[in-house]
Amino acid sequence: MRIGDTLIIDTFAEAFRLRYARLIVTAHDDHWLDAALRAVCGYGTSVIGCDAEIGVESLLGPGETPDGRAGAAVLAFSFGAEPLGKALANRTAQCLLTCPTVNVFDGLPQAAERGPLGRHIRFFGDGFEKSKVVDGRRHWRVPVMDGEFVVEETVGVEKGIGGGNFLLQGAGLDESLAAARRAVAAIAAVPGTITPFPGGVVRSGSKVGSRYDGLKASTNDAYCPALVGRVETALVSGAACCLEVVIDGVDEACIADAMAVGMRAAAGPGVLAISAGNYGGKLGKFHFHLRQVLSPGGTAG
């Protein structure tokens, strides 16, 4: 299979089960919203070492938020409801409570599984905090120096998927970077997905394990151009750069859609091949076969 000049290698991306939550973050204007989003999404790239994989799902207009202000939907993923709740409570307290004008709401109010949010943060009010129930949802109003910080008491948690991916093999750095940016921009329009790494792109793709004791992951040497001739390579002839786009999503359909639009956007001159990262099917139960995903009506395997 080819898309223009780009070979689609017959392989699959291997993804795994995660839990996710959706925060609705609002602010007085775009400047403070951007400041809040940059802070709360910081150090949120990989659950290998971070407390959560986190990113902006979409920007929201005033008519789409609980307090009628501009906002954003933020998706966060972790291995379980408990660690995810802890991560979100910490990030909300450190990054959103501190940011001028920001409020925080639950984006999954119908979820049966709940994690703590304002339930813990309210204690910052030192006894001056107040609660209010709106449409059966409890909110806390915490006095701060620019007025009040409004935060929902709990956050909904649902089953999601982490680790959808594809690998761009380019003839050079410039071609690969341009392709990766096209892919990430296209995926940004797919609801229910995020690309949590810097700029949506990973240059340090990993394999499971290491020759060093205690390391969970190490460089994916089969895709490192500098190691061609020293290890068994998975790069096509002429590939001088390989970049990975990793996608987390709320379900299989979202990730399959994101992979398809991302690969189609990335393919083009200078992109020699598109492949994917997997571990022989041993790491995750979700397998996204590239050629199947790209077929009309394609889904995961």
Arithmetic mean of pLDDT, 237-255: 98
**Phi and psi for 288 in degrees, rounded to 5?**
-105, 100
* CATH code of the domain made up of 2-15+161-294: 3.30.70.520
Residue, of 220 and 297, whose pLDDT is higher: 220
CATH topology of domain 18-158: Alpha-Beta Plaits (3.30.70)
Instruction: Give the residue extent of every domain in the chain.
Output: 2-15+161-294, 18-158
Percent of the chain past pLDDT 90, that is, above it, reads 92
> For residue range 15-62, what is the model confidence (pLDDT) as tens digits?
999 999 999 999 999 999 999 999 999 999 999 899 999 999 999 999
Report DSSP letters for 163-197, one per residue.
EEEEEEEESSHHHHHHHHHHHHHHHTTSTTEE--S
283, two tokens: 């790491």
> For residue range 87-135, what is the model confidence (pLDDT) as tens digits?
999 999 999 999 999 999 999 999 999 999 999 999 999 999 999 999 8
Quick check: 296 pLDDT over 90? no
Arithmetic mean of pLDDT, 145-171: 97
152, two tokens: 């929902």
